[in-house]
Structure 1
């Protein structure tokens, strides 16, 4: 295959691979510093304000599939193009391993359709080994990242409340939306058993932040990406504003094969396969920044072999791909009998939870390390595809005016009546927790399989440990305690060890991190504390790969903060001519 190479005159200061949270933030900060930047994205351009991309406010029945997904795994109108399985882009698993890898192929990546739960890591989260002796501490602490969390809060916007909880650091918050009825019931029940429920912290604008974006109009459809840019998506809030500076060139439908290097082992650029003509192209730059997602960046580095990097770029330690870990996750649901057949009204709110439970047992001695937070859902949002499923289980709780079971609705009018009865009376909760990073959980190149672009694919090796299983067991005990305190009918039986206590498969929470972790020792880490490769000083990683551990928090806000920090370091090092 011939490679189309740019001339030296067209070389960039920085090439950024990936346009999600990390890549997007890097593009904005570097462009504002006056650097010439290329952003290389494997998917297509995406702008939710454009008619061809707009899905907000459209009812499910306008879809020919009634909202069911094809290339959009969460439904036709969800702003997620990609999924765990993408045609022509396989991955493999080692024997006995479970890992499902989500890829988002679009400008802005996963930030188009995430829950926008924007939590800071706390002081304990960077130094967990000091508390439980497991894993490793980060080479940085909360005090190093806090100034960048502040900057992210102010630039992007996040609502919340000042709570003064040590390991749930407060930020610069916009006013939070009021709890909906089911959330008031959750808080009332949780208060009885001393489990905290506080306003959520979501990156959705409840007040204006700047002239680039509108404010939330409470349609509860953030998962579709906002046409007024009121919620945070990297494409609309970071990449497109950076492009307006005239310093950023965007290359879409470009599947990066490898980072190229010179005889000294320093990065010179990237090669990519254009999905439009299947030809290979090369871009040149002084600095390469990988923000393609933790596993995709690791894949690019492992595929970037050369005489100076025989085991892959930045992999002299053999740690690229190691310590892969995802959030834990388990869910439970109940019915509130006194909320059946309740009055219908609009309580849509923002596209996510208005309240949540932060981890509240840091000081308690449990049979598992690390913790989890609880996300809540329910209410009377727009019914989506599959709404009303499970009625055979739920309708046994419907009684007539005499307290007797109502005759089976079955189908037609009876089924409609049953669904209307339950609408707004269901409530659910999801635990999202921290797993312990393991050297034995990793991804590597499968040299026997290539994707349709001829690029070797990843092979995953991953198993949960007893730590995660015991944590999931505790989640369900807590769920039942809260639902019981609310007076809810708990649906289903508590899963046991044969069901891994209801723990989702690794990769299903889509929070994977840790494949290019940072550290002070080049023998046991890939990057230094500025996310700069130990083996290649002009290569940086700004996605979830640098994470040493994950906390029970969603990783996006920390990815954004670390990317800003790394971007400032790149600017400084270029000025000093160190790279």
Structure 2
């Protein structure tokens, strides 16, 4: 195919517009650099009345808001999912891995849970503690200044608690617990599990003129038309454009590869425009990949040349290796005392008001690392299902639940608000045997070779999930409730979610000081090409028992400061 080459040379090309790409766009454009931002999906603005789904009723969608076109519901702000037509991926025999992609400006930041946790000092040096995996080449002290900046720029509510491995920050006021969360607090404390206000990037007070304040509709997964929650487009890219940044957006554009010259340095990227289905080459002095851990690895693995025969950045043979996702297991609990409760508006933010950070000591347990607990429930939009069969309640309330018409309405009203969802989200061990690679026999709709996954949970993750269920049951007892459904068995891996289902995949372009044992250095710069940087979660050495987004943002900012400094020194 004939490739059309742009006559313009950008200072920086950024591939991906999610957390890392959005932050890179803001910081590098504010430094006066000329930026091209490439996004595989369409333009998206949650304030646009033509695409906005916030405050729409279930009856306005074909399936009453259920997931007929999107896995989290028709109104969810994620254009994509685990399966995208024309964009397959494959798995090695026996592998279970589901890869979530969100094709839109802002990527997955439009619909995520906004749980905004810093990694702690211990999280960067886990091998020194339990001997598993590897330590990061950086410490918490290296990242702390950037966590502080992210807190102040984006806004996060919470409380300073002086916890040793859940660092304090600059917090906005946290919303008070709702009734179901008060029950959770009671049960958790009886089980000696700590509970604190959640830390979430949702504005509970004004921080600047560009963004509104949360009005408690509880629909953050739809992305906020008032820009009160964090999405990359509304909080990073749009402000950068408004402040006069030299930013050119290339939406609906799939990057196929990074192009390099005879010395192995990057000169730009080749992309396929999804609208006209033609190939284009953009030129730049620096290439920043922020397409997500797996997508960036795929681009690099497909970027083969005489200098980089196994893919750009793959001289160590570790590109795509050490892939890992957060662990996840959950249960639903029925609380009889919450039956027939008074119904009133307690929507709150789109997520939990309280959570439990990890409290355990690995020396006293049969598994390493840890997990935090997320809580759901309350008086949200009623749903007939909630991940369980309503007949599970029969033994607790007497008589059969459900039916049709008035009988069904009566039972739903009686049970409305009486269920609590408990979910553990934990740290898995990064292992070289878990990886993604190119499947040379399969291409996507755009002719790009796809990824093939190989992944298995180890005994550590399975035992962690078992501990989650022990904890859920103890907390539920303390609430005076009943855990619904059968407890998952060892054969069922204690209810561990399929890898990829928590959507926290990290580690495919891991950082390290030794080029033979890592893909990037401590500034997320490729060892093999000093003008290529990775600012998504690929460089993570380990995941921690926290959500990765706040660390992606902080490290992206740190990397961008380094890029600006190196350009001024003419080192790249």
TM-score range, shorter chain: over 0.9
Partner of 2:132: 134
Q: Deviation per CA, 1:415-437, whole angstroms, max 9, x where unpaired?
A: 11111111001011100000000
What's the CA shift string for 1:139-160, capped at 9, x where partnerless?
0000000000000000000000
Q: 1:385 to 1:418 in 2, by over 3 A?
A: closer
Task: Tell me, yes or no, if the aligned pair for 1:327 and 1:432 is still in contact at 8 Å.
Answer: yes
Does residue 75 of structure 1 match 2:68?
Answer: no
Task: Report SS of the residue matched to 1:535.
Answer: coil
Counterpart CA distance in 2 for 1:472 and 1:406 is: 33
Q: Which one is further off, 385-394 or 119-128?
A: 385-394
Q: Which structure 1 residue ranges, 4+ long, deviate > 6 Å from structure 2?
A: none
The 5 Å alignment of 1:153-552 reads 153-244=151-242, 245-362=244-361, 364-384=363-383, 386=385, 390-398=389-397, 405-406=398-399, 409-552=402-545
2:116 is matched with 118
- Per-residue deviation, 1:53: 1.4
The match for 1:98 among 89, 96, 117 is: 96
| Cα distance in 1, alignment partners of residues 176 and 91 from structure 2 | 45
Q: Offset of 1:51 from its aligned partner?
A: 0.6
What is the CA distance between 1:269 and its match in structure 2?
Answer: 0.5
1:39 aligned partner: 37
Aligned length: 571
The CA distance in 2 between the partners of 1:310 and 1:531, in whole Å, is: 21
- SS across alignment from 1:11: strand
Match of 1:61 among 59, 62, 66: 59
1:557 positional shift? 0.1
SS at match of 2:248: strand
* CA pair 262-471 structure 1, distance change in 2 beyond 3 A: same
TM-score by length of 2: 0.98
Q: 2:4 is matched with which residue?
A: 4
Gaps of 5+ in 1: 399-404
Post-superposition shift, 1:364?
A: 4.4
Cα pair 2:394 2:400 within 8 Å, conserved: no
- 8 Å CA contact 1:68, 1:385 repeated in 2: no
Task: Provide, for residues 121-152 of structure 1, a one-character-per-residue CA deviation record: whole Å limited to 9, x for no partner.
Answer: 00000000011000000000000000000000
Distance 1:362 1:269 in 2: 48
List runs of 5+ in structure 2 lacking aligned partners. none
Distance 1:326 1:390 in 2: 28
Report the alpha carbon displacement of residue 201 of structure 1 after superposing the two structures with TM.
0.1
Question: Against the structure 1 CA distance between its residues 522 and 216, is the aligned structure 2 distance closer, same or farther, given a 3 Å change threshold?
Answer: same
Task: Tell me: CA distance 1:165–1:335, structure 2 relative to 1, closer, same or farther (3 Å).
Answer: same
Q: How many angstroms apart in 2 are the aligned matches of 1:316 and 1:406?
A: 66
The CA distance in 1 between the partners of 2:216 and 2:74, in whole Å, is 21
Distance 2:402 2:302 in 1: 58
How far apart, in 2, do the equivalents of 1:335 and 1:389 lie? 11
User: Aligned partners of 2:402, 2:143: CA distance in 1, in Å?
Assistant: 56
Give me the CA root mean square deviation.
1.1
